[in-house]
Amino acid sequence: MTTSVAARDQHLDEIRALMAAHSPSIHALLVPSEDAHQSEYVSERDKRRQFISGFTGSAGLALITAKEALLWTDGRYFLQATQQLSDRWKLMRMGEDPPVEVWIADNLLDGAVIAIDSWCISVESAQRYEQAFLKKNQTLLQLSSDLVDEVWKERPPNDALPVNVQPVEFAGRSVAEKINELRERLQHEKATAIIITALDEVAWLYNVRGDDVHYSPVVHSYAIVTLHGAFFYVDKRKVTNEIENYMAENGIDIREYHMVQPDVSLLSSGQLEGSIVNGNLHVEKDIKGVEHLKIWIDSNSCCLALYSKLRQDQVLMLQSPIALPKAVKNPMELDGLRKAHIRDGAAVVQYLAWLDNQMQEHYRASGYFSEANGSQKKEHLEKIKLTEVSVSDKLEGFRAEKEHFKGLSFPTISSVGPNAAIIHYSPEANTCAELDADKIYLCDSGAQYMDGTTDITRTVHFGKPSEHEKSCYTAVLKGHIALDAAVFPNGTTGHALDILARTPLWKNGLDYRHGTGHGIGSYLNVHEGPHLISFRPSARNVPLQASMTVTDEPGYYEDGNFGIRLENVLIVKEANTKFNFGAKGFLSFEHITWAPYQTKLINTALMTPAEIEWVNLYHSDCRKILESYLNDQEKEWLWRATEPITVSS
């Protein structure tokens, strides 16, 4: 989905005309990145913010007033947004500029009307905005239709791709088990029902997967679970006979996707007709009366459109009870994740070995192992040209050969030189850079396998890296190792651990503008909460627990020059410590990602003996774990890539 600057400018003018013609007149329009489920990654037809602004990052919020157009995004995207926004847009840097609600309250007139598509804003955000708007008696207006949709004449269609069952052999737990556990949580909180809106939570609860969103195997759907019934709201064109029978066997009623809002109204009034119970149609009505109904929502994922159908005194607003069980993997999920990462690591090694050969063959590069000076392209008689996109396509090809492969888990960040400094860079075939043996190459990639989701980053150089590049790479590696080797008491949050990965960089006056780690799904979203490792305050909310997954991905980026990031997926596990102070129990990490670090980028003089030992042990394990997946040439390459390192003299 690409539109010209002129077309986007025209759309901006059309939006402003609709705002002026609306009754009441709209003084500002909010255009979020999220869909009706508050998803990070959305379908093509839900990329409204991208359509109107031209900014393609996954996180951001647009605000359109009569005279201004502003876009808020976080530190991962500052450089990218600067490059993609036209001169009619102003970039607002999250963490540096005022938040959108503060800007509105400070800059718009008393009584201003600020409009939003109520399906695309969470209850939490809406309430935060309304609180800020009290300062000037400003109003948050819920639109009956999205104004962006009205000017988006070629909006992609709503495809009907089939829903699939995720077998228990991969899910590890049956739907019946999960629903029973959920109902126990409802009873514990004295709730009578829960509205589940996050796509990955619906998919996890009902053990289903789909293809409605690129890179995330989810289905556009909602769930309502009561003490006696369970409902699945989905476009029925996506429902196969298998799914129909599967849902019936598990006591789940299938309803049309668009029926969720009227059914929430029925739920609120105690009139939602549920499953067959003992041969009778059950109605979800509390025998004590409607006033005793308690309906659980998660304010971060439930949209304003559904919340507005509930009475406020009925609402139990807490973190979703599905978030933690989904994040804390069961033994079968952990086994699947380990196996998926081994196959994925083999694909990455095959790719690096192939790319090394190609860079030497077609660019006369010194290669992955040598630092010899001089590199120049051959005359392109064969018309061989390696680009960021063409090489990432090759990586996808290696992955596609692996068992249980279903697709990529996010768009591959294949980036050369200055592009590697764009933290979430997304290359396009017609504009991407050609590989360059004299520049750093950063590749952040991942895949979806039926038994697990992967995410790995490696940074390499096929020529002679500078001493500065080496020292920066080494600082990133030291932080990466420090987090991997951490031992910490139960109850520790990712906010407390984040500093471990940054300290080696801080000692050199360096840092990075993104978090250090995120959870990862089990054939679900590549970014999974509720936990994370980050400097952001939200990382204080959820302690790490055994059997959670989390990435370890520090980095360093110099705008216009290069970027470095190293990333493994970790499993949180119980630590075997000599003592157990306060009987808390201690935790540590198990890395499950397998691919070598480029040793010629490591300045071993900056490494401690323990860090060198860590690298050598990791590389030794890579050999043992991956070699059975490789041919003889690839094995030979891996053995060279994992030779032990020693301290520089």
Tell me the pLDDT tens digit for each residue of 196-237: 999 999 999 999 999 999 999 999 999 999 999 999 999 999
Per-residue pLDDT band at 286 (split at 50, 70, 90): very low
The pLDDT value given to residue 375: 53
Q: DSSP letters along 210-279, please?
A: --SBTTB---SEEEEEESS-EEEEE-GGG--HHHHHHHHHTTEEEEEGGGHHHHHHHHHTT-EEEEEETT
Q: What's the rounded mean pLDDT across residues 438-458?
A: 98
Helix (H) or strand (E) holding 531: strand 528-533
Asked if residue 411 lies in contact with residue 443, where contact means CB atoms within 8 angstroms, the answer is: no
Q: 393: Cβ–Cβ under 8 A, 6 or more apart, which residues?
A: none
Q: Has residue 466 got a pLDDT over 50? A: yes
The pLDDT value given to residue 378: 52
E-assigned strands of 278-336?
Answer: 280-284, 295-297, 315-317
> How far apart are the C-alpha atoms of 94 and 117, rounded to whole Å?
22
364-396 pLDDT tens trace: 999 999 998 655 555 443 568 999 999 999 999
> How far apart are the C-alpha atoms of 415 and 455, rounded to whole Å?
16
The pLDDT value given to residue 1: 57
Q: Has residue 447 got a pLDDT over 50? A: yes
276-285, 329-338, 597-606: the lowest-pLDDT one: 276-285
The pLDDT value given to residue 381: 38
Q: Has residue 568 got a pLDDT over 70? A: yes
Mean pLDDT of the chain: 94
Kindly list the distances between the CA atom of residue 467 and the CA atoms of 34, 371, 633, in Å, as whole numbers in the listed order. 42, 12, 31
Per-residue pLDDT band at 531 (split at 50, 70, 90): very high
The CB-side HSE value for 150 (13 A sphere, CA atoms) comes to 15
Distance of alpha carbon 152 from the chain centroid: 26
Name the residue with tokens 């095959």: 350
647: exposed, middle or buried (Cβ count in 10 Å: 0-12, 13-18, 19+): exposed
E-assigned strands of 9-109?
Answer: 28-32, 61-65, 69-73, 90-93
Q: What's the rounded mean pLDDT across residues 611-631?
A: 98
The pLDDT value given to residue 3: 76
The pLDDT value given to residue 374: 52
Share of the chain above pLDDT 70, in %: 95
> How far apart are the C-alpha atoms of 148 and 128, rounded to whole Å?
23
Helix (H) or strand (E) holding 482: helix 467-484
> How far apart are the C-alpha atoms of 189 and 225, rounded to whole Å?
14
The pLDDT value given to residue 373: 65
570-583 pLDDT tens trace: 999 999 999 999 99
Q: Has residue 5 got a pLDDT over 70? A: yes
Q: Has residue 278 got a pLDDT over 90? A: no
Tell me the three state secondary structure of residue 125.
Answer: helix
274-283, 310-319, 400-409, 525-534: the lowest-pLDDT one: 274-283
The CB-side HSE value for 459 (13 A sphere, CA atoms) comes to 30
Q: Has residue 277 got a pLDDT over 70? A: no
77-106 pLDDT tens trace: 999 999 999 999 999 999 999 999 999 999
The pLDDT value given to residue 279: 39
Per-residue pLDDT band at 281 (split at 50, 70, 90): very low
Q: How many residues does the chain have?
A: 649
Tell me the pTM.
0.94
